[in-house]
Structure 1
Amino acid sequence: MDDVIIIGGSFAGLAAALQLGRARRKVTVLDTSLPRNRFAGHSHGLLGHDHKPPLDILAEARQQLARYPTIKLVNARADSISGAIDDFSVLTGDGESLAARRLILSYGVADQMPDIPGFAKGWGTSIVPCPYCDGFEVAGQHWGLVWSGPQSHNQVRLFHDWTDTLTVLTDGHEIPSDVRADLARRKIPVVDGRIAEIAQQGDHNAIVKLDTGSKVSVDILFAHPRNKPSASLHESLDLATVDTPLGIILKVDERRETSLPGIYAAGDLANPLMPSVTLASSHGATAGISAQQSMLV
């Protein structure tokens, strides 16, 4: 029996495995090698790894984990979970049954691409969600923001630290009159109409074509499509969740423990703030340490 099975081997899962391996706890990491940021050319904000391709960072992390004999990395999908604290069972897609005293869920979320021609193709390059991840590289340029709801008003204020040139595209959303007045006060153009297509030019530039027939060219387009957990294991476990403007996440306490004792969650699957490799790594380390300390006798 393992001490801990970690489901999801991206930044959060590997950070948890590192802490547990250094504590000489027996760990199995199940991963399907489909991290959320695999579409991005570079990852930013992670100390010591700034501006490196995210897949390169993960590959290096796996190599570093090889020095810990109690960590086992397995390329497999977790199909189901049963049991309770100190006696969990995980069935993999290969039909193997694994047992562990604790579980860490770090299988992340999947972004739901809207049915707009060119959107999926540009995701991670000309269309991005996070200014902390990509804003510095395009600071001072013309940004576009696809309005997604009330939270977009705060993003307008946030973006001011990176650029003074911003265009809002409503994409069919109703923007309240008081918010429109505030945007006008900030001298931010608002373009109405639904987005019909997005054409990419170069690494960042995007041409947004609207159903009104007009076009808007920007140097980078920020958008926040809804997302959903990459697996449904939490549903079968009936774990408590939290609704956010972009989708649901798992509810955790300060130790990253979910509503079911012995099961922890980390990474975008349980992060209400923003997608970030730094936060995912931090939360993963916290989950690993918490799981280890919960097994002390």
Structure 2
Amino acid sequence: MQFDVIIIGGSYAGMAAALQLARARCRIMMIDAGQRRNRFAEHSHGFLGRDGHAPDQIAEEAKQQLLAYPTVTWTNGKALGAAQAGGGFRIETEAGQTYESTHLILALGVEDILPDVPGLKERWGKSVFHCPYCHGYELDEGSIGVLAVGPISMHQALMLPDWGKTSFFINDTFTPDDEQLAQLSARGVTVVSEPVAEITGHADIRLASGRVISLAGLFTAPATRPTSPLAEQLGCALEEGPLGPFITTNAMKETTIPRIFACGDAARAAGSVSLAVGDGAMAGAATHRSLMFG
């Protein structure tokens, strides 16, 4: 079946892109694997107008609003293959379905690659986080930990004191130099060099010696990667960010392949729900412009 635009990814960025196109009466196919990045969190924060609401609720309401537009078709499942075909694009799904369009939007999302520390995975999105703007305020200025994954974690360690007294667990991942130690000291950060054995309780750190440090919350910076290789299959360029690869786009969210746009966490070095929605709106409007003017 031929569509104007196929959007791969039905989370915040993909739906925001679809909404702009639906309101322009474009024929849209949404292909959604149903794996939102914030599915582990009970509440979404920092998203204007929906601060503190459950991510499931926000996403479901957005989906129902989008499906009210008659030119939107939604299919659940994973897109497995993508190729240029006949001046447009052909997408194959895991169910064996094939769809074609003249334009494509990749809202693939990313996978978080968590540090290999016992007890961390089970608490991810509940008491272990990556974004202080999303979760820091709710810790009510309690004791906060930053679990290092490497030098990139300096950024988090220097940020978090604005949300609470901060301990920086370097966990044998790197050794801060004198300048970095001075920066941490100036921000009141306590550096803990003893290795972390596990995370227990709510978000408590048990060190190799057996000593336990109780925390209101723990932050870390997982590596990320797009959840799908479709961008590479299509020949889109990727670039390496501080946390992992992401799809290269211009200011209008177009990739290095004409008529393929990308938005959301898979198309920026770091993101949030608010940024994903903004990126999606831009990608949708830019795709409509491309449909009109080439």
- Measured against the shorter chain, the TM-score band is over 0.9
Name the Cα RMSD after superposition. Answer: 1.5
Aligned to 1:288: 284
User: Which letter does structure 2 place at the counterpart of 1:228?
Assistant: R
**Equivalent residues in 2 for 1:6-45, closer than 5 Å:** 6-45=7-46
Aligned to 2:181: 180
How far apart are the structure 2 equivalents of 1:176 and 1:218?
26
The worse-fitting range, judged by mean Cα deviation, of 168-177 and 79-88 is 79-88
Aligned to 2:292, the other structure's residue is in SS state: coil
On the 8 A contact 1:252/1:265 being kept in 2, the answer is yes
How far apart are the structure 2 equivalents of 1:6 and 1:122?
32
How far apart are the structure 2 equivalents of 1:283 and 1:139?
31
User: Which letter does structure 2 place at the counterpart of 1:295?
Assistant: L
Q: Judging changes above 3 Å, is the alpha-carbon distance between structure 1 residues 27 and 36 closer, same or farther for their aligned structure 2 residues? A: same
Give the alignment's TM-score, normalised by structure 1: 0.94
On the 8 A contact 1:84/1:262 being kept in 2, the answer is no
**Equivalent residues in 2 for 1:219-258, closer than 5 Å:** 219-258=216-255
Residue 170 of structure 1 and its aligned partner are, at CA, apart by 0.3
Paired residue total: 291
2:138 is aligned with 1:141: no
Residue 64 of structure 1 and its aligned partner are, at CA, apart by 0.6
In the alignment, structure 1 segments of 5+ residues that lack a partner are none
On the 8 A contact 1:85/1:102 being kept in 2, the answer is no
Aligned to 2:166: 166
The worse-fitting range, judged by mean Cα deviation, of 75-84 and 95-104 is 75-84
What CA deviation, in whole Å up to 9, does each residue of 1:79-111 have, x standing for no partner? 111116841100111111100011100110011
Aligned to 1:63, the other structure's residue is in SS state: helix
Aligned to 2:218, the other structure's residue is in SS state: strand
User: Which letter does structure 2 place at the counterpart of 1:91?
Assistant: E
On the 8 A contact 2:4/2:28 being kept in 1, the answer is yes
Aligned to 2:116, the other structure's residue is in SS state: coil
How far apart are the structure 2 equivalents of 1:125 and 1:232?
29
**Equivalent residues in 2 for 1:1-297, closer than 5 Å:** 1-83=2-84, 86-163=87-164, 165-173=165-173, 174-201=175-202, 206-272=203-269, 274-297=270-293
What CA deviation, in whole Å up to 9, does each residue of 1:182-231 have, x standing for no partner? 32343321111332211132xxxx11122243322111101111121111
User: Which letter does structure 1 place at the counterpart of 2:82?
Assistant: I
Q: Judging changes above 3 Å, is the alpha-carbon distance between structure 1 residues 136 and 86 closer, same or farther for their aligned structure 2 residues? A: farther
How much identity, in percent, do the aligned residues show? 39
On the 8 A contact 1:26/1:70 being kept in 2, the answer is yes
How far apart are the structure 2 equivalents of 1:230 and 1:146?
24
User: Which letter does structure 2 place at the counterpart of 1:157?
Assistant: L
How far apart are the structure 2 equivalents of 1:196 and 1:153?
21
How far apart are the structure 1 equivalents of 2:33 and 2:14?
12
How far apart are the structure 1 equivalents of 2:106 and 2:64?
22
In the alignment, structure 2 segments of 5+ residues that lack a partner are none
On the 8 A contact 1:86/1:102 being kept in 2, the answer is no
How far apart are the structure 2 equivalents of 1:200 and 1:271?
34
Give the alignment's TM-score, normalised by structure 2: 0.95
Could you list the structure 1 runs, at least 4 aligned residues long, displaced by more than 3 angstroms after superposition. Answer: none
How far apart are the structure 2 equivalents of 1:85 and 1:225?
40
Q: Judging changes above 3 Å, is the alpha-carbon distance between structure 1 residues 187 and 160 closer, same or farther for their aligned structure 2 residues? A: closer
On the 8 A contact 1:86/1:262 being kept in 2, the answer is no
What CA deviation, in whole Å up to 9, does each residue of 1:112-144 have, x standing for no partner? 123222111000011001011111111311110
Aligned to 2:275, the other structure's residue is in SS state: helix
